[in-house]
Structure 1
Amino acid sequence: MKKYYIVLILITCFNHAFSQEKAYKTKEVAFQAGEQITYKLKYGIFSAAEAVIKVENSPLKFDGHPALHINTTAKTVGTFNLLFKVRNEYHSYIDPVTLLPYYYSETRQESSYRHSDKVTFNHDTNVITADKGKFPFKGDVFDFLSCYYFARNIDVSNLKIGETLELHYFLEDGIHALTITFMGREQVKCGLGTFNCLKFNPTIIPGRIFRKNSKLYLWITDDKNRIPIKAHVELIVGSLVMDLSQASGLKYPLNPVKK
């Protein structure tokens, strides 16, 4: 997979979840059609990028089954448009009950680079069909959007500090795996207030922008919404912070801690 850094950091912040092999989905879905959430990405004191994620009822059906449509746009802002302009759009169509993906597409414009992909998930034959070919898989495999929404529905009631879990998702050229460690519970402040959160530490592969010992921390609301509200990742020079800035159409009230 090519390393287009700003979008990969956005994807990394959104992706981290648990596989169904080691954790189980709750019966009640944590989100609904009409939900819209917005994240800001900052490099130091500078605004770097923004991502907006929407959930809608889809008019499309897959083998006669209804679907939810998840639509995400990600773009750089301000000075970062001059340094590395990003204009990306992602679509995922998922089963509203199992939350498994039927179909995924992306259109990425990252500086002079252009990329698009269309991906079909066949969970009966366990084959993913993408622009680059066919990819057999085992177990539950997601695109990064459906992975993010599936993660919000994991039963975390029995998680213990230090426990490590795994996710699997398809992106561009194959199926990828990441691990994540539960770090405990903390109160964390974002653009919408201070919230009781679950803290996680996903693994990072060292490279041109990550140090060997770089850390990524992700905080998710410890409530029925299970929304990631903040992420912090260390770079070779400086760090990036993802922050929840807007949320509407939520299935459950978003209740900040009262001071």
Structure 2
Amino acid sequence: MKKSFVFTLIAFLACFNAFSQSLPYIKSSSFETGETLVYKLKYGFITAAEATLQVLDSDIKYNGKPTYHLLAQGKTNGTFDIFFKVRNKYESFIDKTTYTPYFYAEDIKEDNYTRTDKVRFYQSEKKIVGSKGTYTSPVAQTFDLVSAYYFARNLDLSSVRIGDKLTLRYFLKDEVTPLTIEYMGKEVVKTSQGRVNCLKFSPSISPGRIFKKNSRLYLWITDDENRIPVKAQGDVIVGSITMELASVSGLKEPLKIIK
């Protein structure tokens, strides 16, 4: 699969999800139906792409259990849209109590490349069934790119200490992949909504077509009841890319803005 800037933006959001096997999650969800988050991805000073994440109403049940319908959409902007047009859509249906996924679908259109996939998760069996076959996971909590992000927002982070490194497994590109992330401490970050207290993390990355050798990726998450990413930054083969929160609505709790 080509790794577009939009794919990288969605992956930025998923980078906060390395705690699933190490920390307990809270019972009261940090998000609710109606929430919408919009992010901009900048290459240098140029806005290259944007992504929208939504929590939608769902009357679909799996094993008799109600679900949240999560929708993530990404697209290129401006000049990038002329030279490399991207229109990607990712959907996930997750359990309202455990926040683990039952079903995931993606519809990817990146220039001349297209890909669709539908994935069914059987958590208790540690099994994932996709369009190209059946896959196994070493753990009973395996996520897709979208559900991982929302699960992480419900984790109890009270015991996390600077330097802690934790790992989760997520299903992507027809394989179960581990992701490790290091907690870096607390910082105040200026956002489109104002200045907010944040938790800083550094996810592991693989050098290749996007990231250069020895580059670091950093992610800032609001240190409040919402736990939403507000900024991510990393060096790429040429230059750097930055993700920033552009707009937000429907939060369960108001953002705590520093006056």
Structure 2 runs not aligned, ≥5 long: none
What's the secondary structure of 2:13's corresponding residue? helix
Where does residue 14 of structure 2 map in the other structure?
15
Name the SS of the counterpart of 1:197 in structure 2.
Answer: strand
| Partner residue, 1:55 | 55
Q: Structure 1 residue 149 and structure 2 residue 150: aligned?
A: yes
Partner Cα distance (1:218, 1:235) in 2: 15
* Paired residues of 2:7 and 2:74 also in contact (CA < 8 A): no
What is the match of residue 182 of structure 2? Answer: 181
The C-alpha deviation readout for 1:81-114, integer Å capped at 9, x for no partner, is 1222110001100001100101000000011100
Is contact 2:185–2:201 with CA below 8 Å preserved after alignment?
yes
TM-fit CA distance, 1:12? 2.0
Q: Which residue of 1 aligns with 2:74?
A: 74
Aligned to 1:256: 257
- 1:179-218 aligned at under 5 Å gives the runs 179-218=180-219
Looking at structure 2, the residues matched to 256 and 185 of structure 1 have their Cα atoms a distance apart, in angstroms, of 15
Matches within 5 A, 1:69-148: 69-137=69-137, 138-148=139-149
Per-residue deviation, 1:166: 0.9
Cα distance in 2, alignment partners of residues 195 and 165 from structure 1: 25
- Give, as a single letter, the amino acid of the residue that structure 1 aligns with 2:184: M
CA offsets per residue over residues 172-211 of structure 1, 9 Å max, x none? 2110111100000000112221110000000111113321
1:236: how far off?
1.8
Q: Percent identity?
A: 47
CA distance in 2, matches of 1:99, 1:167: 14
**Quick one: distance in 2 between partners of 1:218 and 1:112?**
31
* Secondary structure class of the residue paired with 1:66: strand
Supply the distance in 1 between the matched residues of 2:125 and 2:161 (Cα, whole angstroms). 35
CA distance in 1, matches of 2:91, 2:107: 9
Instruction: Provide Cα deviations, 1:195-240, integer angstroms capped at 9, x if missing partner.
Output: 1000000011111332111110000000000000000011121111
- Matched residue, 2:166: 165
Are 1:117 and 1:172, in contact at CA under 8 Å, matched by a contact in 2?
no
Give 5+ residue unaligned stretches, structure 1: none
- What is the one-letter code of the residue matched to 2:199? L
User: Quick check: 1:101–1:142 contact (8 Å CA) kept in 2?
Assistant: yes
Does the aligned pair in 1 maintain the 2:20–2:152 contact within 8 Å?
A: no
Whether the 8 Å contact between 1:18 and 1:154 is mirrored in structure 2 is no
Aligned counterpart, 2:42:
42
TM-score (norm 1): 0.96
Q: How many angstroms apart in 2 are the aligned matches of 1:234 and 1:85?
A: 23
Count, aligned residues: 257
* Gap change, CA 1:3 and 1:203, over 3 Å in 2: farther
Secondary structure in structure 2 of the residue aligned to 1:67:
strand
Measured against aligned partners, the alpha-carbon deviations of 1:118-137 in whole angstroms (never above 9, x if no partner) come to 00001232211000100112
CA distance in 1, matches of 2:155, 2:2: 29
Give the TM-score normalised by structure 2: 0.96
- Is the partner of 2:125 in helix, strand or coil? coil
Post-superposition shift, 1:3? 4.1
| Residue aligned with 1:82, SS | helix
1:5 Cα shift? 3.3
Whether the 8 Å contact between 1:19 and 1:140 is mirrored in structure 2 is no
The residue that corresponds to 1:222 in the other structure is: 223
Q: One-letter code of the match for 2:6?
A: V
Answer whether contact 2:125 2:140 (CA < 8 A) is retained.
no
Alpha carbons 2:6, 2:51 under 8 Å: kept: no
Partner Cα separation in structure 2 for residue 222 and residue 102 of structure 1: 29
- 1:161: Cα distance to partner? 0.6
**How far, CA to CA, are the matches of 2:192 and 2:132 in structure 1?**
39
